[in-house]
Chain A
């Protein structure tokens, strides 16, 4: 739906898209760009606005363990999500029976449930006296005296996996759906068995969806506040997002909070660049194609 904006000959008339775009653009500039830029700038200021690296020094002193923790948990869960999601997506692509249809339907649920609710779910489910421990105790897997302590890396990962794997499957499976059966049959006709077909035909042909899913999962996990806040809260180690909240709520220290924020920006720099580039390329293709 593209046509050139109308313009009278010789006269300077305002192109029609200007008033249409102005409110949205203005809003974004005021409510997003300005605070975004401010966050970066402020991280380099102290006191009454003197440039300094003091904030970053403080971050290094107080929060470097948490930065490592955040990065670690993000990488781990992105990788875990990627592998599990690919396996499930391949499964859904290859097997189409009642069981896989049911599984596919169950998988949709976590996607629709808001993160706040998920956090509360995990809070109750993973608690030392929560349903998971109770069930495991009934099965004899867990000692009544020593239930699993899950409000840490493990529990957080469970929560992330619970929400992100179905989401990744949605994207990756969509990509697999677009691969025509004939490519799989051609591989079988030259003697390939399932593992070869998955690794050498299906996954390479679906590379773009898999990368998009991983990028989205990665940046979502790094930016998540709700889940770590409810599960781990102030315990050490915790995520950068929780630290930022603490810095603001207890110390009103926006300098260090922003320094932490900039650290998280740096962590997503590559994925953000990839995401922006591919979405813009996609949008450009739609215009010309």
Chain B
């Protein structure tokens, strides 16, 4: 069982505390993504697991063994770097064979293993090429192959797609997810790109300032953010301030200072608290679609403040009371003009309401 457990990890850079009592478990075969802005501690966490960053306090367990101060080359990890780090003076074959040669594996077996791994990343014909002859995406695939050929207990990927252009990044996302589901290696993935995280992860850990802000499945992180940071980090979010007026289980009513009542989903809030409604543009229905919606809650009249056509969709900025919110419409049947007042409906099942503060750290 190649399970990774981080217990009360503390890492400091001089006086700055990068990780403050971090606890994290990655179950056998899971792909967990550490997601967050620069400086949130995700790379620090990954480097402490890889062994290249010493730990001040806490323990790391891999596969039941304590690896906290064991040298990197003895940890049984597979590492994929942002810049691929393929050795330029070695062919693709040699890059992959290097680790096997160090283990004194016989030449025939090495050849077989390399061929098999190259096939799994679809790079069979490139065995004799040099890294400089490969494109970025191809290099990244070889880097991945090099990491998995030694059958490591855990795979660590440090923003592996950041150096690729947008189109390639999308493609590679799917490939990485496919390879993971095929091989089932426990994986820790680090990125600042939330779409990437949502596509490939079994679970996402959102981090900020060395702490875990929320952990969970991608849908949960997106639909049920537990604090302002996570709500704002995922998707395009517009916040509307208010006070919790009613609470019925999960269902919550937020009243703004200009009297607008927003119905949504909340966790861990009390009546009377200051809160924020996290409005996502894709959950706002406009015009006739708004009217066609069933219940009467969250039906408002808003004024079109800005209208942009981006090709794929119409991007509106609407004025709701004293607030400005964004709305996006695909397949627009009607185009709404500046200044026009229209009906809108916000899906109350898709409106998270969160506590109004930055520091709501909720570690699971």
Task: Give A contacts to B, CB under 8 Å.
Answer: 180, 182-183, 185-193, 196, 200-201, 204-205, 207
Report yes or no: A191 in contact with B81, Cβ–Cβ below 8 A: no
Report yes or no: A200 in contact with B52, Cβ–Cβ below 8 A: no
For B81-96 the 0/1 string (1 means CB < 8 A from A) is 1110111110000000
Report yes or no: B103 in contact with A191, Cβ–Cβ below 8 A: yes
With most chain B CB atoms within 10 A of its CB, the pick from A186, A193, A201, A207 is: A186
Report yes or no: A182 in contact with B81, Cβ–Cβ below 8 A: yes
Report yes or no: B79 in contact with A201, Cβ–Cβ below 8 A: no
Report yes or no: B102 in contact with A185, Cβ–Cβ below 8 A: no
- Asked if B213 is at the interface of the complex by the 8 Å CB criterion, the answer is no
User: Quick one: closest B residue to A203, CB to CB?
Assistant: B89
Selected contact of A188 from candidates B72, B88, B103, CB within 8 Å: B72
Selected contact of B83 from candidates A180, A193, A204, CB within 8 Å: A180
User: Quick one: closest A residue to B97, CB to CB?
Assistant: A190
Interfacial chain B residues near A183, Cβ < 8 Å: 85, 87
In angstroms, Cα B50 to Cα A180, docked, is 17
Report yes or no: A204 in contact with B73, Cβ–Cβ below 8 A: no
Q: How far is the CB of B311 from chain A (nearest CB, A)?
A: 38
Report yes or no: B87 in contact with A201, Cβ–Cβ below 8 A: yes
Interfacial chain A residues near B50, Cβ < 8 Å: 185, 189
Give the interface residue-count category, chain B: 20 to 34
- Asked if B58 is at the interface of the complex by the 8 Å CB criterion, the answer is no
7 A-B pairs within 8 Å (CB atoms) are namely: A185-B72, A185-B79, A189-B77, A189-B147, A190-B146, A190-B150, A192-B99
In angstroms, Cα B52 to Cα A186, docked, is 11
Task: Give B contacts to A, CB under 8 Å.
Answer: 50, 52, 71-74, 77-79, 81-83, 85-89, 98-99, 102-103, 146-147, 150
In angstroms, Cα B99 to Cα A196, docked, is 11
Given contacts A185-B50, A185-B72, A200-B98, contact A191 B87 (CB under 8 A): no
Report yes or no: A191 in contact with B83, Cβ–Cβ below 8 A: no
In angstroms, Cα B268 to Cα A228, docked, is 86
In angstroms, Cα B102 to Cα A196, docked, is 8
Report yes or no: A186 in contact with B146, Cβ–Cβ below 8 A: yes
Q: How far is the CB of A154 from chain B (nearest CB, A)?
A: 37
Interfacial chain A residues near B72, Cβ < 8 Å: 185, 188-189
User: Quick one: closest A residue to B82, CB to CB?
Assistant: A182
User: Quick one: closest A residue to B100, CB to CB?
Assistant: A190
Q: How far is the CB of A220 from chain B (nearest CB, A)?
A: 28
Interfacial chain A residues near B77, Cβ < 8 Å: 189
Interfacial chain B residues near A201, Cβ < 8 Å: 87
Q: How far is the CB of A210 from chain B (nearest CB, A)?
A: 13
- The 4 lowest CB-CB distance pairs between A and B, nearest first, are A190-B99, A189-B79, A182-B85, A186-B85
Report yes or no: B102 in contact with A190, Cβ–Cβ below 8 A: yes
Selected contact of B87 from candidates A186, A188, A189, CB within 8 Å: A186
Interfacial chain B residues near A192, Cβ < 8 Å: 73, 98-99, 102
Report yes or no: A182 in contact with B147, Cβ–Cβ below 8 A: no
Q: How far is the CB of B73 from chain A (nearest CB, A)?
A: 5
In angstroms, Cα B167 to Cα A284, docked, is 36
Q: How far is the CB of A209 from chain B (nearest CB, A)?
A: 14
In angstroms, Cα B88 to Cα A180, docked, is 12
Selected contact of B89 from candidates A189, A190, A204, CB within 8 Å: A204
With most chain B CB atoms within 10 A of its CB, the pick from A187, A204, A207 is: A187
Report yes or no: A182 in contact with B73, Cβ–Cβ below 8 A: no
Interfacial chain A residues near B71, Cβ < 8 Å: 188
User: Quick one: closest B residue to A197, CB to CB?
Assistant: B73
Report yes or no: A191 in contact with B88, Cβ–Cβ below 8 A: no
Interfacial chain A residues near B82, Cβ < 8 Å: 182
Given contacts A186-B79, A196-B102, A200-B98, contact A191 B85 (CB under 8 A): no
Q: How far is the CB of B297 from chain A (nearest CB, A)?
A: 54
Report yes or no: B85 in contact with A188, Cβ–Cβ below 8 A: no
Interfacial chain B residues near A189, Cβ < 8 Å: 50, 72-73, 77-79, 147
User: Quick one: closest B residue to A196, CB to CB?
Assistant: B102
In angstroms, Cα B99 to Cα A186, docked, is 10
Selected contact of B81 from candidates A186, A193, A204, A205, CB within 8 Å: A186
In angstroms, Cα B150 to Cα A207, docked, is 28
User: Quick one: closest A residue to B75, CB to CB?
Assistant: A189
Known: A190-B98, A190-B146, A193-B73. 14 other contacts (CB 8 A): A180-B83, A183-B87, A186-B85, A186-B146, A188-B72, A189-B77, A190-B102, A190-B150, A191-B99, A191-B150, A192-B73, A200-B98, A205-B89, A207-B89
In angstroms, Cα B81 to Cα A84, docked, is 32
Interfacial chain A residues near B85, Cβ < 8 Å: 180, 182-183, 185-186
User: Quick one: closest A residue to B96, CB to CB?
Assistant: A190
Q: How far is the CB of A289 from chain B (nearest CB, A)?
A: 16
Report yes or no: A185 in contact with B81, Cβ–Cβ below 8 A: yes
In angstroms, Cα B77 to Cα A196, docked, is 18
In angstroms, Cα B79 to Cα A187, docked, is 10
User: Quick one: closest A residue to B147, CB to CB?
Assistant: A189
